[in-house]
Structure 1
Amino acid sequence: MDDQSFERIFKENFTVLTNIAYSVVKDSDVAKDVVQQVFLKMWRNREGLNVQSSLKNYLHRSVINTSLNHLEKEKRLTEMSEGHTNNLAFAKNDVEQQVVRNEVEMKVKEAVSALPIRCQTVFSLSRFEGLSNKEIADHMDISIKTVENQMGKALKSLRESLKSVLNDRFISVIITIISLMN
């Protein structure tokens, strides 16, 4: 195939092929690029090009395939981009959550440290060690009622201590979270 015959084939088919590509990709600039890619590939492979059917059918099929390949590539790029964006958002959220978690953990530990020794011990055995009221009573050699009273005092004191930092609804949730972390 020489330059003149290639140019003639290009001019005769460009508009029709662009319309075919447009029907697939729905973007006129992309459709023109697709047709140019097909002709560029055809020119580069002109020495070994072996068209089994008509040239018209070959060009139509090439444009359709190249258009579909373009859509698939765009889809993959979009998915990768969205995945990257989502990963960045998750990472940012993870960092923010960790900072908040660390601050809350520090405030809770300070509040627990400020409790009277007996309240602190009962609270720590209950929330951090996971002992039942009976186990705490046996361990400390006190009555179950005393354990319940000390836990009540500890929770009331913690609610007051943490009120400025946290909403009342979340204090018990935070205390539970802290107990799971240790």
Structure 2
Amino acid sequence: MNGFEIYKKMDDGVQAIYRSRLLTEILLSLNEGSKKLPQLREITGSTSQALIPKLRKLEADHLIETKGHEYFLTSAGKIVASGIADSFVIFWAINKFKHFWLKHYLEEIPIPLLKEIGCLYDSEVLKDKGMKILDVYNNQLRMLKEADHIHGISSVVTEGYTDSISERVKERTPVVCTFSVQHFL
């Protein structure tokens, strides 16, 4: 079954969460930790009268539970809330860099990496409007040396990149990089 077929079969469950701002906000806020009703009111900007039916629905769907006066995600709720949070991060990263994605060939990026594209939400696209291609390269090397963490995808592998990344790994800087190298005959 593909994603569309699953979506159609889920009817009210999945669709209701994405249609309802409150259901989504409750799940996302509880994904950060348990909350009391006054905290949920403050986070969502909603009244108790608006929140309580939504909380009851999420309880009926076994996505949240209460202990005392605190609401928290069940194990299943954690999975659902995490997936929702990931989908919003992906949409954010795609929307933030939509001009970049439209102008680049992405078909050779492995699917598992495309699923992690949301990790780029807090990154920036570097552009060099001049003809000094080595300035871009040198700027990238400088950024690699100064970054407190490195997440990247590159279709180019140079000795400078590998040396810079190797040094950062030795310094225990968090590094996640993928190099997509193609051979042309």
TM exceeding 0.5: no
Query: Which structure's relative contact order is higher, taking Cα pairs within 8 Å and 6+ residues apart?
Result: 1
Greater share of residues in helix: 1
TM-score range, shorter chain: under 0.3
Question: Greater CA radius of gyration, 1 or 2?
Answer: 1
Give the alignment's TM-score, normalised by structure 2.
0.21
